[in-house]
């Protein structure tokens, strides 16, 4: 889409040479044919090195951009991103197609496929499942009833998805107008589930805003888990039921997360960490340790605090 056309549609003035735009991405990942945005001072150091073709940015910080990047001046960069995201969203339609299948697949006749779906060998898909456009499912994967896999999802080999799993639904992303309205940010990334992953019933894994949400190889997820957009859950990790990762949470390998644990977004949990049930993680955690409580702290410290509280109660009695 021409940058001039985008600017016209979202009511911005383009003062520089026009160019073709094929998508959106972050400052660090955007290419010369993509638009990015700047609305958080903690990313100011990325302005000078971005390769984005254009950036939604306020007038104060625009001089920090490289000469090759067009500054699209606005005091509502995040809102303009949301409005632009719609132009690059996948077209949703009901018309499907026949998948390209490997050998010895077992597909129930009540399964629906989008266009250009690819299945490996020995894939089993049970009744009521839907596999979206251009999705790929690796060999020996088992899909139980009523699983939904949205468009452009990539599923590895030897995976098991239990009933009601949803892969690649939209992440929870909205920009807000000055008058308090909420404008959808279309989620134009995808979801990748690597090999040997098992996902419990009614677990949901959101697609990325741009880029990819990853569930790495060998990870096992319980029922009723929520993984937000742009998360990256490390290989061979374990998560118990009703736990949730907010958007852009990343972890190292072999992380164990107990039931009903919740995280803030944009944090990292180090490899070989264990998080006790019902903990609330508000900041990044060092690997190789056990944590508990809200906000989550090292488990031994949390136990000492609980003992102190119990002692105070006894004294009052």
Q: 241-275, pLDDT tens digit by residue? A: 999 999 999 999 999 999 999 999 999 999 999 99
The C-alpha atoms of residue 294 and residue 275 are separated, in whole angstroms, by 11
pTM for the whole thing?
0.94
Helices (H), the chain: 3-10, 77-85, 299-316
Percent of the chain whose predicted confidence (pLDDT) is above 90: 96
Which three-class secondary structure state does DSSP give residue 77?
helix
Model pLDDT for residues 280-301, shown as the tens digit of each residue:
999 999 999 999 999 999 999 9
pLDDT at residue 315 is higher than 90: no
Q: Give the per-residue pLDDT at 15.
A: 84
| pLDDT band (50, 70, 90) for residue 60 | very high
The pair of three-digit structure tokens given for residue 130, joined into one six-digit string: 């839907």
Q: Give the per-residue pLDDT at 220.
A: 98
Q: Give the per-residue pLDDT at 104.
A: 98
Could you tell me which CATH class the domain 3-88 is placed in? alpha beta
pLDDT at residue 162 is higher than 90: yes
Candidate list 229, 236, 266, 268, residue with the active-site label: 229
Are 273 and 287 in contact by the 8 Å Cβ rule? The answer is yes
pLDDT at residue 44 is higher than 80: yes
Q: Is 229 among the residues known to form the active site?
A: yes
Q: Give the per-residue pLDDT at 305.
A: 94
């Amino acid at each position: 889409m021409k940058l001039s056309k985008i600017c016209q549609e979202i009511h911005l003035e383009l003062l520089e040479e026009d160019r073709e735009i094929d998508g959106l991405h972050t400052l660090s990942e955007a290419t010369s044919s993509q638009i990015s945005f700047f609305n958080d001072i903690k990313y100011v150091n990325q302005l000078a090195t971005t390769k984005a073709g254009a950036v939604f940015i306020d007038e104060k910080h625009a001089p920090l951009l490289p000469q090759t990047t067009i500054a699209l001046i606005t005091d509502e960069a995040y809102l303009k991103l949301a409005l632009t995201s719609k132009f690059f969203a996948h077209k949703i339609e009901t018309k499907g197609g026949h998948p390209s299948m490997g050998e010895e697949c077992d597909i129930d006749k009540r399964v629906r496929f989008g266009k250009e779906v690819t299945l490996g060998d020995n894939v089993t898909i049970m009744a009521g499942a839907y596999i979206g456009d251009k999705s790929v499912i690796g060999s020996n994967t088992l899909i139980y009833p009523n699983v939904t896999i949205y468009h452009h999802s990539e599923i590895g080999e030897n995976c098991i998805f239990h009933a009601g799993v949803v892969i690649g639904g939209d992440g929870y992303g909205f920009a807000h107008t000055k008058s308090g309205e909420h404008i959808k940010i279309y989620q134009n990334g995808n979801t990748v589930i690597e090999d040997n992953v098992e996902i419990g019933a009614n677990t949901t894994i959101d697609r990325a805003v741009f880029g990819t949400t990853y569930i790495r190889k060998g990870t096992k997820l319980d029922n009723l888990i929520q993984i937000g957009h742009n998360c990256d859950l490390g290989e061979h990790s374990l998560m118990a039921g009703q736990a949730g990762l907010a958007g852009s949470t990343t972890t190292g390998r072999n992380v164990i997360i107990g039931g009903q644990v919740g995280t803030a977004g944009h944090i990292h949990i180090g490899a070989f960490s264990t998080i006790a049930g019902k903990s609330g993680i508000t900041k990044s955690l060092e690997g190789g340790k056990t944590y508990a409580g809200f906000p989550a702290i090292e488990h031994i410290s949390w136990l000492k605090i609980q003992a102190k509280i119990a002692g105070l109660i006894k004294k009052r009695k």
